[in-house]
Structure 1
């Protein structure tokens, strides 16, 4: 296996393991909610005046899909819709008390994941992190250029 293949395989294995471990723990505490619901709750909790258009852009989903998801969250009592006084046409979302509880559980789990991994990162030097960041940024720019050549819009800012 070449160094290039080895580096991609090692990164893939690392991210796969992290995603599995994180999702395993998330599923135990947030078992009644799917990832789309959790991410939607997270976005609404972080960004004031979230609406269908903003959520669709953030998740690279259609407005129709977000509309369906938001109706589901409203039915579950996790979010509620409102209109701003200066724009009666635009419908925005905010978390309900129950939605805030789910948001807080999700945020606490992210803190737990960070705390879990902190002992490892304490062993990594600043120089090693700089090398990893430089590699990742350069490779991401390369992949962005390749995606642009394909001509398909892909939004990965929230991954």
Structure 2
């Protein structure tokens, strides 16, 4: 196996272990909520004036799928829609008090997991972090370009 394969397998393995380790606690603490719902709540809380288009772009989902997801969250009382007085056409979302509770539970779990894993990150030098971040940014830009190409190909079909 070449180094490229080792890196990609390493990322996959790390991700799968993280998901497996965190899964039981996440499911127990956020019972009744799907991961997509929780991540949508997280996005809305962290991004002012979230709308269907921004959510779809962020999650690489169709606007129709995001519309269904946001409708579920509205029905569950976790988010509410609003419009700005200067733009009655666009619909935005914000968390309700109940949505903020779910957001806080999720954030607290992430902090707990970060604390658990801190022992590893404390051993990483600034130069190592810079190197890893540089690689992640380059690879991310490449994948975004590939996604854009695919989007253009799909539109021309």
Q: CA deviation at 1:134?
A: 3.7
Q: Does 1:51 align with 2:45?
A: no
The change in CA–CA distance for 1:141 and 1:98 in structure 2 (over 3 A counts) is closer
Which protein has the bigger helix share? 2
CA RMSD of aligned residues (A): 2.2
The change in CA–CA distance for 1:143 and 1:60 in structure 2 (over 3 A counts) is closer
Q: Counterpart of 1:152?
A: 150
Q: Does 1:126 align with 2:126?
A: yes
Q: Any unmatched runs of 5+ in structure 2?
A: 152-157
The change in CA–CA distance for 1:71 and 1:140 in structure 2 (over 3 A counts) is closer
Pairs within 5 Å for 1:85-104: 85-104=85-104
Q: Any unmatched runs of 5+ in structure 1?
A: 154-159
The change in CA–CA distance for 1:135 and 1:45 in structure 2 (over 3 A counts) is closer
TM-score after normalising by structure 1: 0.81
Q: Does 1:14 align with 2:14?
A: yes
Residues 104-140 of structure 1, C-alpha deviation per residue, up to 9 Å, x if partnerless? 1111111112111111111222333333334434444
The change in CA–CA distance for 1:87 and 1:123 in structure 2 (over 3 A counts) is same
- Separation in 2, partners of 1:80, 1:143: 33
Q: Does 1:39 align with 2:49?
A: no
Q: CA deviation at 1:12?
A: 2.1
* Number of equivalences: 151
Q: Counterpart of 2:61?
A: 61
